[in-house]
Amino acid sequence: MADEFSNEEFCTGLFDGFLFAGLNRDNVSKHIMKLLWYVHGKINRVRLNTVLKAIEPDYPNELYDSLVKKIDLVPEKKSQYKMPEEFQSSVRTYKYPFELVMKAYERRFPTCPEFMPIVLETTIIEDETDGPKRRTKRRCKLRVDAPYLFKKIIGIESALFIQENFLDLKERKLTIEATNETFSSRIKIFEKCRYYVHPENEDWTCFDQSANIEITNFFGFEHQMEKVGMKQYTQMTLKGKEIIEHFVNQLKDEGITHVDRWCDPEGTESETSKKDDALDVNEGVKEQNRLNADYIKNFLGELTPHQESRLLQMRKKLEDQNLEKIPDYPTLLRFLRARDFSIEKSTAMLIESLKWRKEHDVDNLLKNYREPHVVVKYFPGEWINSMTDNEQRPLYVIKLGNMDVKGLLKSIGEEGLLKLTLYICEQGLNKMKELTEKHGKPIWQWCLLVDCMNLSMRHLWRPGLASFLRIIETVEKNYPETMGRVLIVRAPRVFPILWTIVSAFIDENTRNKFLFFEDTAHGLNHFIPKMPSDFLTTSDKTLIHNGGIVPKQLYKTDSIEEPDHGNDNGADDETDGDDVTQTTIKLNEHNIYQNVKLQPGQFYEIVIKNDDKKAVLTWDYESTKTEILFTIYETSGDISDITLSNDDDFSSIFDVAGMKENVNYKKKEETITSRAKESIQGSIEMEKATYILQWMNPLASENSTRLMYFYEILSSANYRGSMTSLQSASLSAISLHSNR
């Protein structure tokens, strides 16, 4: 290999490889010199200069000299990197007796190129037999399955391992231990495999596998070496069962379907206590018996060896936590997927969720919860038991456009709406379990169909959105990876505004599951094949509840406001009778609504100068006691100075400035007259101009009122645009699904 480092073509390829790997160009030469040091020891400076010049001819001589001196004088430093990595397989079951499996196992030696091309050679170096016991020691030569450049850097094409087999025919078990010889001072690999009698069927054989890799120093390539080790382990694991099945079938073709059990010298077949055997071979992995290949196939789906290992490790970690009850494997898998199979993060997330479930008695929710009358009559959502999506997931439909968000919040409160949501989620878990058992395949997610017909600005009521976002946060923390797909149907022009606000609070993995449809005729039947074309438009309440406006007599609170924190125009803070009700919904920790007291004939105006074309202005307001007039004006002039000098609250800013309507300014939105305690929401798309939000307590009013208001500007950069772009993305998704 030393000669190869002098070859210009090789050095150039090495240099390009480092750049491709993401190393900074200025550090590449130094990194190569370190490799030369590690692989060859101290190297002649002149030769090293020659090598580096071959890599990068234009590199300044003085920098070469400086680098060469540094590397020449500094001895190898031991890496601080220490990375133990553990792997654990599920229990694999062969439905053959132990003795037949052992006969099939022996046929894989010395090599098995058809199934295990990675094994180049095996040599028996020790073989001892003592009655039913046999110890066999082999040296195995394995091909290093790694990129060419990496193999050139470390200087090897193959690696040597020592494998020791401990076979006990009387106890009917085989233990295999393997350790590495190659680079043993830098990497420690230990693998253990076991074949043993199935604890519930003596004519079946179980297999499990574990491995530990600890890399203390590998020339700065510890992470790359871990990937190589993981790849090798995965290949061996995936092929293991296939090999045994192949050789069992080969034996059958030769007429060998039975192998006698070991007999002791007296000629009596061994009758080792099955209970004792089961305790021996399963000590410390009691629950692991359930996680076998058949269980994974039927209840968890396809998992890589790495994912299986993480699942078992998480289970073991939870056993060490002394929890009252450990969740089942599908639940553990959901939390692992939510945290990208990080055991630490997944375990922490799950433990927090278990505490939350206990604190709120969620485990008994299905048994104890009763839907309030308001929910039964006015909540437009339910499970559709007669339908599933195209992947047989349970289907929940909600007519969001028909939901009276404010009415529900004022009648059952945020806590009541959260409890309803959790009840739906718990129902979903049950339905997924039922469908999994019914179809014999894993169905651990559900499908949500959201009908947005009639969606309007009233659904952007800010306290409602705040509650909705907190409910989303709770669900994502405690029901991760349960949402398989969200189908948004018949979304109107206002929907992108709602999506812009809400999507930022939804996990990216969940957000990518949203698909948008203009109507029910364009692609929706691909995802819900059995859905009738008139399903969402039918008035038949036996299919789906249409919801409706919650009558105000069912409200438990009359107002949106929180305790008064003062006002904006200097009016006094006293509370007039029921201007601020004693019972309020505290919909946010912070008061997002401003409040101002208006006497009859008094104006309140907000001036907004906008330089962001296409930005969206949204608003929400309510008058607590009287009617109120609301108008939006637009002007191209600068009225900031006029605003500052206007101290007359009983005159409009335009009157003070002497401005004329349709000359100096114009109405952007026609005047709205709203009743007392009627919440009004709206939005406009803005130009580069100045906007004036104007409220007025009519002069004819007999009482003063308190105006509660909120407004927000969504920048054009954050505004997600029209439904056309959302639907376009959905059409692409439909195309991908159709081609599968």
Domains of the chain by residue range: 4-73, 83-259, 288-359, 364-554, 594-714
How high is the pLDDT of residue 420? 97
How high is the pLDDT of residue 229? 64
303-356 pLDDT, tens digit per residue, is 887 888 899 889 999 998 888 899 999 999 999 999 999 999 999 999 999 999
CATH number for the domain formed by residue range(s) 364-554: 3.40.525.10
How high is the pLDDT of residue 729? 44
163-181 pLDDT, tens digit per residue, is 999 999 999 999 999 999 9
Tokens of 10: 């090789």
How high is the pLDDT of residue 682? 84
CATH 3.40.50.150 holds for 288-359: no
Instruction: Record the pTM.
Output: 0.70
SS3 call for 176: strand
Tokens of 323: 């929890």
Question: What is d(CA 491, CA 494) in angstroms, rounded to the nearest whole number?
Answer: 8
CATH 3.30.530.20 holds for 83-259: yes
Question: What is d(CA 308, CA 330) in angstroms, rounded to the nearest whole number?
Answer: 12
How high is the pLDDT of residue 117? 84
How high is the pLDDT of residue 79? 44
**Is-contact 254 140, C-beta < 8 A?**
no
Please determine whether the domains at 83-259 and 364-554 fall in the same fold group of CATH.
Answer: no
How high is the pLDDT of residue 288? 44
SS3 call for 320: coil
Question: What is d(CA 719, CA 343) in angstroms, rounded to the nearest whole number?
Answer: 37
Tokens of 577: 């009778």
CATH number for the domain formed by residue range(s) 594-714: 2.60.120.680
Question: Within 13 A of 538's CA, how many CA atoms are on the CB side?
Answer: 11
Per DSSP bridges, beta strands 446-451 and 394-398 are: parallel
Residue count of the chain, please give it. 740
How high is the pLDDT of residue 484? 94
List, in sequence order, the alpha helices (H) in 185-304.
Answer: 222-253, 274-282, 293-295
> Residue 673 forms beta bridges with which residues?
629
Sheet holding 680-685, edge to edge: 594-598, 705-714, 616-623, 680-685
SS3 call for 635: strand
How high is the pLDDT of residue 235? 64
Kindly tell me the sign of the dihedral angle through the C-alpha atoms of 278, 282, 283, 289: negative
Segments of the chain with pLDDT less than 70: 1-84, 146-155, 217-238, 266-290, 520-522, 539-543, 557-591, 640-648, 718-740
Burial pattern 28-62, b for ≥16 Cβ within 10 A else e, equals bbbbbbbbbbbbeeebeeeebeebbebbeeeeeee
Residue type, 278: A
Could you tell me which residues come within 8 angstroms of residue 94 by beta carbon, excluding any fewer than 6 positions away?
A: 101, 204, 205, 206, 207, 241, 244, 245, 248
Reported as type and span, the H/E element at residue 596 is strand 594-598
